[in-house]
A and B are shown apart, each in its own frame.
Chain A
Amino acid sequence: MNKDILLCGVGGQGTVLASKLIASAAMLGGERVHSAETIGMAQRGGSVTSHVRIGEAYSPLIPFGSADMIMAFEPAEAVRNLCYLKKDGIVIVNSVPVKPVTESLHDTGYDGTEMISYLRKKCSNVIVVSAEEICEEFGSSKFFNVAILGVAVGSGKTGLSAENVMVEIESKIPERFRELNKKAFIKGMEIGEGYEAK
C-alpha cells in the first residue's frame, strides 16, 4: 500500500499526535512508514505540517501533487497546502478558523468560509467538519486531532484499520485522557463512515 497523508494546521493544534498515531497504526499493519514534522519556532502559533508516507518513499517530504489525503486542522492551512494534493485526492478540513493575532489587529474579515468554498471548487472530495461541534461534548477542542483522525479512517481512504489505531491510542495516550480520546475517535469514525456511504 502506498499512501501519502499530509496533516496541516497551526502550532499547538495537535497535528503531531495525530501523525504519530497514523504512522504507528500503519506500522502495526506491517507497513513501512516515513514521516516529517515541523519542530521549532513555527510551533508557537505558526503554520505547521506533518508529512506521513506509508509504503515506499525516499523523501520524507511528500512531493507536490502526490498526497492521497490532506487532513487540515484549519481552513486556510488546507488551502496553503493544497499543492500537495493529488488531483483525485481527498481533503478533510475543520471549518473553524484560527485567526492570527495580526488578523485581530487589522481585521480583514478572515473567517474561513472563502477557504472552504475554494476547496470545494478545486477538489471533488472534501469533507468539512466543525471542531467546535464535534468537540462540544468533550469540553475542549484539544480532542479534535483524534476526532479528525477518526473521520479520515472512517472515510476508508487511509487504508488504516480502525482496530490498529485504537491499539495505538490505547498505548500512546496517557490514561487520564484515553477514554475521551477513544470517544472522539469513534465519533469521528461515524462522520467519516457517513461520508463514504454517500
Chain B
Amino acid sequence: MRKEYVMGNSAIALGALAAGVNLVSGYPGTPSSEIIETVGKYNNGSVHLEWSVNEKAAMEVAAGAAYAGARAMVTMKQVGLNVASDPLMSLAYVGVKGGMVIVSADDPGPISSQTEQDTRMFAEFARIPVFDPSSPEEAYIMIQDAFEYSEKYHTPVLFRPTTRVCHAYASIECEENPQPKRYEGFVKDSKKWVIFPKLSFMNHEMIEKRNPQIGNDFSKYKFNTVTGSGKKAVFASGISYAYVKEYLKDRQDVMLCRIATPYPFPEKLVLPVLEKAEEVLCVEELSPYVETHLQRIAGVHKLPVKVFGKSTGHGKLSGENSADYAAKIVGEFLGDKPSEDQIELSDMPQLPIRPPVLCAGCPHRASFYAVKKAMAGRKAYFCGDIGCYTLGNAMPLDMTDTCLCMGAGITMAQGLYHTDHDAVSFAFVGDSTFFASGMTGVVNAVYNEADMILCVLDNSTTAMTGHQPHPGTGRNMMGDIIEKVDIIKILEGIGVKKIEVVDPFELDKAVAVVKECAEIKGVKAIIFKSPCIAITKPSGKMNISEKCIGCKKCIKEIGCPAITFRDGKAEIDKSLCTGCGLCSSVCPVNAIGGDCNE
C-alpha cells in the first residue's frame, strides 16, 4: 500500500484501477474530467483508455467491453448522462457480464453546469443501483464495491459523486501494483445480448423482483450506517453527510443515518429508525430523494414519524449545501443554541461581482469581435454553445443570444432562420463540441435547406474542462499520435459549399470573410483557427503609450481583462497580457503598441 494525497476524482480512478478495470471511457465535463486524466497518468498500457467523442459513444464502448466480461468504467458529468441515456436505459434491461460502473458527477449549485439534475433519480428511473460517496476516501473503496455489486447482479451500476467530493483532496491508502482483471471474452448468445420486446418484458419482471433484494443487500452495506440514539434522526446522503458529521461530531443523543446507496433504497436498515424516531430531518442536495423514500416507507408502514426536508421548508430547493447550512438546519432541528463564533458582518461594503470572462488573449474574443463588427447594423442571431466561448455572452462582447446544451447552437440557429429569413443566423461551436454533437446538426442544415453561418472556434483543445485532446488534435489517451480528424473534410463531405479558414487575430480579413459569407445562401462555415492561449506560450506584451486619450474604446469594445483604467488612461497589466494585439486594432489613435504576435 502507498499513501497518496489526491482529489476525489483521482481516488475514483485509483479505486477503479485497484478493482482491475480493463477499459475506461468518457467525455470531459466538470466536475468529472480528472478521473480519466488520472487513469492516464497511472496507465502502463494495460487498460484501454479513451476520451470518446461523446457520452453516448463512451457508454456503448464500455458496454461492449462489459459484455465481453471485462470490467469497464465510463465517466461523465450529469448532463452527459442525458446524452448517454439512450444506451443506458436499454442496457439496464440487457445487463452486463463484467462489472460496469457509470460515473455521473452531479453538480449542486450548479457551479459549472446547465442543470441541477439528480443522478439518484436517474438510477431509479433506469432501475439500476447507485452509489453516493461522501468523501474521496470513501469513493476509493466504494468504486471497488460498485464493480463487485455490478458483477454480482449482472447490472450496470451508477456511481454519483458531487462536485465537492470530486474536487476535495484527501490522503488515501492505495494498492501498489493493481492488475487488470482477466476476462473470458465475448461469448455469442443472441437471446441474451440482442434487445427485443420479449427480452425487455422478461427482464423487466426479473429486475423488479431483483431490486428489493439488492435493497436488502444494501441494508447490510458497510457505508449505509446508523449511529447514535434518541427520538430524533438525521438522514444524510453524499457530501451532506460529511457536513452533518462536521456539526454532530461524535454526538450520540441523535440518530445519524447515512444513505450511501440511495437506490435500491436500503429499506430494512431504515425502517427501525423510522419506528423509533418521532421526527427525522433529511439533509441532501438536488432532489428530495431520501426524503421521498422516507415519506413512502412511513406511509406504507403507517408510522407516526414526522419527516422534515425540502418539502417542509427545511432544506434549500436549489443550490448546494455547505457545512454552515447543514449546521444551521440540524442545529435548529435539534433545538441547539446557535454558535457565536462568527464575526458580525452586516455592515459589509458592496463587493465587486466577478463573472467569469474569457482569458486575456483568448482567440474567441477576437472571433466574436470580428463577427460583431461585420454584422454591425444588420439583424443577426448569435447561437452559442457549451465551452469557454459561452463566456462570449459577457459585456461588452454580448455575442451569445442562446445557449442550451451541447451542439444545440447549430440546430437552434436553423430554427431561428426558419422563423426569420431577414436575419443572419450564426452558430458558434468549439472544435470539441463540433465532434461531440455538432456534426449531425450540420447535416440537418444542409438537408433541410437552412441559411446559416457556422463558426467553428477551433482552438485545438477542449479548453473549459482542462484541455483534453479530441479527434481533431491528433493525440489520444493511449499516448498515440493519430491522424487528425479534419473538420474541413467533414464539412465538405456533408456538402457545405462555402468553407473559409481564418486567423481571428487578422481582424480585417476575418471581418471581410464574415461579410462575404453573410451574402451567400445556404450553409456556410468559417473556421476561426487559433490555439487556446492557456496552452500556448504568450508571444509578447503590448503597452499603451502617452497617446492614449482615455476614450475607453479598447475596454468597451473587447473587454480584455488585462486592460484596466487608471487616472484617465487605459493601462495594460503585463502579467496578464499575451500580446494578441486585438486591442491595438481597436484603438482610434494607435496608442497601443509593443511586442505583438503578428
Q: Which residues of A contact B (CB under 8 A)?
A: 10-12, 23-24, 27, 32-47, 57-66, 76, 79-80, 82-83, 85-87, 99-105, 107-108, 110, 114-115, 118, 122-123, 140-142
Contacts and interface: CB of A to CB of B under 8 A. Distances in A.
Nearest to B320: A61
Given A41-B30, A65-B339, A104 B555 contact: yes
A101 B559 contact: yes
Given A46-B356, A59-B323, A39 B31 contact: yes
Contacts of A66: 341
Interface in B317-336: 322-324, 327
Given A34-B170, A118-B348, A123-B343, A63 B324 contact: yes
A30 to B, nearest CB: 12
11 contacts: A12-B359, A27-B171, A34-B169, A39-B112, A41-B112, A41-B464, A58-B243, A100-B354, A101-B395, A104-B555, A142-B575
B446 interface: no
B111 A40 contact: yes
Which one of B327, B351, B552 has the greatest number of beta carbons of chain A within 10 Å? Answer: B351
SS class of chain A's interface: helix, strand, loop or mixed? mixed
A79 B345 CA distance: 9
B349 A118 contact: yes
Nearest to A24: B5
Nearest to A122: B343
Contacts of B388: 44
Interface stretch (B13-21, B420-428, B560-568): B560-568
Contacts of B396: 101, 105
Interface in B526-567: 552, 555-556, 559-561, 563-565
Given A10-B354, A43-B356, A60-B164, 4 more contacts: A60-B135, A60-B242, A85-B343, A104-B565
Contact of A105 (B165, B339, B559): B559
A45 B354 contact: yes
Contacts of B348: 79, 82, 118
A36 B396 CA distance: 33
B83 interface: no
Contact of A42 (B323, B356, B555, B560): B356
A116 to B, nearest CB: 11
Contact of B245 (A11, A42, A58, A61): A58
Interface string B378-403: 00000000001001001110000000
- Interface size bracket, B side: 35 or more
B170 to A, nearest CB: 5
Nearest to A27: B5
A136 B324 CA distance: 40
Interface string B68-100: 000000000000000000000000000000000
B357 interface: yes
A105 B323 contact: no
B493 interface: no
Nearest to A51: B168
B548 to A, nearest CB: 14
B353 interface: yes
B486 interface: no
Of all A-B residue pairs in the complex, the 10 with the closest CB atoms, nearest first, are A40-B112, A65-B341, A60-B168, A65-B342, A59-B246, A63-B323, A44-B356, A40-B30, A58-B245, A46-B356
Nearest to A32: B171
Given A110-B352, A115-B349, A102 B5 contact: no
Which one of A24, A27, A59 has the greatest number of beta carbons of chain B within 10 Å? Answer: A59
A105 B341 contact: no
A35 B171 CA distance: 10
Which one of B239, B343, B351, B559 has the greatest number of beta carbons of chain A within 10 Å? Answer: B343
A27 B171 CA distance: 9
B197 interface: no
Interface in B354-376: 354-359
Nearest to A144: B575
B167 interface: yes
Contacts of A65: 339, 341-343
A89 to B, nearest CB: 8
B353 A87 contact: no
Contact of B352 (A35, A38, A64, A99): A99
A34 B168 contact: yes
Which one of A87, A101, A140 has the greatest number of beta carbons of chain B within 10 Å? Answer: A101
B115 to A, nearest CB: 14
A44 B359 contact: yes
Contacts of B560: 101
Contacts of B563: 104
Contact of A23 (B5, B163, B167, B395): B5
B398 to A, nearest CB: 11
A107 B170 contact: no
A101 B561 contact: yes
B354 A46 contact: yes
Given A82-B345, A100-B355, A122-B343, A45 B565 contact: no
Given A83-B343, A122-B343, A42 B352 contact: no
A59 B342 contact: no
A147 to B, nearest CB: 14
B343 A41 contact: no
Which one of B165, B345, B388, B561 has the greatest number of beta carbons of chain A within 10 Å? Answer: B561
